Structure 1
Amino acid sequence: MLAASMVDLARRLGVSSVHVTFPGGDEYEGLGEAGYLQRLGSQYHWTNPGYQSFDDFLGQLSSRKRKQIRKERDAVARTGIRLSTLVGGDVKARHWDVFHAFYQAVVDRKWGRAYVSRAFFEELSASALADSVVLVWAEDGGEPLGAAFNMLGGDTLYGRTWGGGRHVDFLHFEACYYRALDFAIAQGLARVEAGAQGEHKVSRGYLPNATYSAHWIADSRLAEPVARYLVHERAMVTEDMASQTEEGPFRKG
Structure 2
Amino acid sequence: MPLQRLQKLSEIAPQTWDALVPETQPFLRHAFLSALEDSGSVGPHTGWQPEHLLHVEGDRLIAALPGYRKWHSYGEYVFDHAWADACERAGIDYYPKLLGAVPFSPVTGPRLLAATVDDGFELLKSLPGYLELEGLSSAHINFTDPFTDAALSEQPGWLQRVGCQYHWQNRGYRDFQDFLDVLSSRKRKQMRKEREQVAGQGFEFEWLEGRELSQAQWDFVYACYANTYAVRRQAPYLTREFFSLLAERMPESIRVVLAKQDSRPVAMAFSLVGGDSFYGRYWGCLAEFDRLHFETCFYQGMDYAIANGFQRFDAGAQGEHKLIRGFEPVITHSWHYLRHSGLKAAVKDFLEQERLGVLAYAEDAKSALPYRQG
TM-score (structure 2 length as normaliser):
0.65
Deviations 1:211-251 (A, max 9, x none): 11101011112222111111111111111111111221111
3-state secondary structure, aligned to 2:189: helix
Give me the whole-angstrom Cα distance separating, in 2, the residues matched to 1:204 and 1:213. 27
Cα distance in 2 between the residues matched to 1:219 and 1:165: 47
CA–CA distance in 2 between the matches of 1:22 and 1:126?
A: 27
Q: Which residue of 2 aligns with 1:41?
A: 163
- Structure 1 counterpart of 2:152, from 19, 26, 31: 31
Asked if 1:64 corresponds to 2:196, the answer is: no
Aligned equivalent of 1:237: 358
- 2:302 matched to 1:184? no
Q: Structure 2: any 5+ residue segments left out of the alignment?
A: 1-120
Q: Structure 1 234/113 Cα, relative in aligned 2: closer, same or farther at 3 Å?
A: farther
Deviation by residue 1:37-92 (Cα, 9 ceiling, x = unmatched): 11101221111121111111111111111111100001111111121111232222
Asked whether 1:148 is paired with 2:269, we answer yes
Corresponding letter in the other structure for 1:123: L
Higher relative contact order (CA 8 A, sep 6+): 1
Count of matched residue positions in the alignment of Structure 1 and Structure 2: 252
Match of 2:239 among 89, 102, 117: 117
2:149 pairs with 1:3: no
Counterpart for residue 55 of structure 1:
177
Distance 1:217 1:202 in 2: 34
Q: Which secondary structure state, in structure 2, belongs to the residue aligned with residue 148 of structure 1? A: strand
Contact 1:152–1:158 (Cα < 8 Å) also in 2? yes
SS at match of 1:18: strand
In 2, distance between residues paired with 1:29 and 1:226? Answer: 21
Q: What is the rounded CA distance, in whole Å, between the counterparts of 2:164 and 2:338 in structure 1?
A: 22
Worse overlay, 242-251 or 69-78: 242-251
Partner letter of residue 313 of structure 2? V
2:203 to 81, 103, 109: 81
The list of structure 1 runs, each at least 4 consecutive aligned residues, that deviate by more than 3 angstroms after superposition, is none
- Tell me how far apart the structure 1 counterparts of residues 176 and 263 of structure 2 sit (CA, whole Å): 27
1:219 to 2:340 alignment: yes
Equivalent residue, structure 1, for 2:22: none
Q: Would the alpha carbon gap of residues 235 and 113 (structure 1) be closer, same or farther in structure 2, given more than 3 Å must change?
A: farther
What are structure 1's unaligned runs of at least 5 residues?
none
| Match in the other structure for 2:285 | 164
SS at match of 1:82: strand
Report which of the two has the higher share of helix. 1
Return closer, same or farther for 1:26/1:246 CA change in 2, 3 Å cut-off: farther
% identical equivalent positions: 40
CA distance in 1, matches of 2:370, 2:259: 27
* SS of equivalent to 2:279: strand
The Cα shift of 1:26 comes to: 5.3
* Aligned ranges 1:88-99 → 2 under 5 Å: 88-99=210-221
Q: After the TM superposition, which of the residue ranges 170-179 and 41-50 deviates more from structure 2?
A: 41-50
Query: 1:199 is matched with which residue?
Result: 320
